[in-house]
Amino acid sequence: MSISLRQLDVQDKAIIISVTAPGEMGRRLRDMGLVPNTEIEIIGRAPLKDPVALRLRGFTLTLRNNEADHITVEKKEPSA
């Protein structure tokens, strides 16, 4: 089931399905490695719930919620 990255909770893991952000924002997201088929993990949220910190490709990245809205992901079910 594909959902917006914003809807993920801390410690959720997911695979990026698509990044639909246009222009500069889209380019920044791609430059930082947010492209389809990338595995991400939400590792925290700022004290006011926004921005969100996520891990991908071995490093940590922060995103604002309105930027996360442009990223569709498929949530991975936690493996027991």
Partner 1 sequence: MKTSHIAFAGNPNAGKTTLFNNVTGSRQHVGNYPGITVERKEGSLLFQGTQLNIIDLPGCYSLTAYTQEELVARQVLVEERPDLVVNVVDATKLERHLYLTVQFLELGIPVMLALNMMDDVRNKGMQIDLERLSQRLGCPAIGTVARSGEGKQQLLEQITRSTATTTEGWQPLHISYGPDIDPVLEEMETLISTSSFLTDRYPARWVAIKYLEGDEEIQQRGAELPEIAAQLESIVDTLREHCNKTLNSFPEAIIADYRYGFIHSLLRQGIVIHPAQVDRMDITDSMDRVLTHKILGPTLMMSLLYLMFQVTFTLGDYPLQLMEMLFSWLGDSVTALLPEGHLQSLIVSGVIDGIGGVLSFVPLIMIMFIMIAFLEDSGYMARVAYMMDKVFRTFGLHGSSVMPFIISGGIAGGCAVPGVMAARTLRSPREKLATILTAPFMPCGAKIPVFLLLIGAFFSEHRALIMFGITLTAWIMALLVARLLRSTLIRGESTPFVMELPPYRWPTLQGISIHTWERTWEYIKKAGTVILAISILLWVAMTFPGLTPAQQQFFDQQRLPLQSALEQAPAAPRAAQLNQQLRDIDQQQSMTALQHSAAGQLGTMLEPVSRLAGFNWRTNIALIGGVAAKEVIVSTLGTAYSLGEADSEETRTLVQRIRNDKDWNRASALSAILFVLLYAPCFVTIVVMARESSWQWACFALFFNTGIAFLLAILVYQIGIRL
Q: Interface residues with partner 1 (CB under 8 A)?
A: 18-19, 22, 24-36, 38, 43-44, 46-51, 53, 57-64, 67
CB atoms inside a 10 Å sphere around CB 3 = 14
Cα–Cα distance, 38 to 57 (Å, whole number)? 8
User: Least distance (Å) from partner 1 to the CB of residue 22?
Assistant: 8
Cα–Cα distance, 51 to 40 (Å, whole number)? 15
CA distances from 61 to 4, 54, 79 (A): 17, 5, 24
User: Least distance (Å) from partner 1 to the CB of residue 75?
Assistant: 19
User: Least distance (Å) from partner 1 to the CB of residue 48?
Assistant: 4
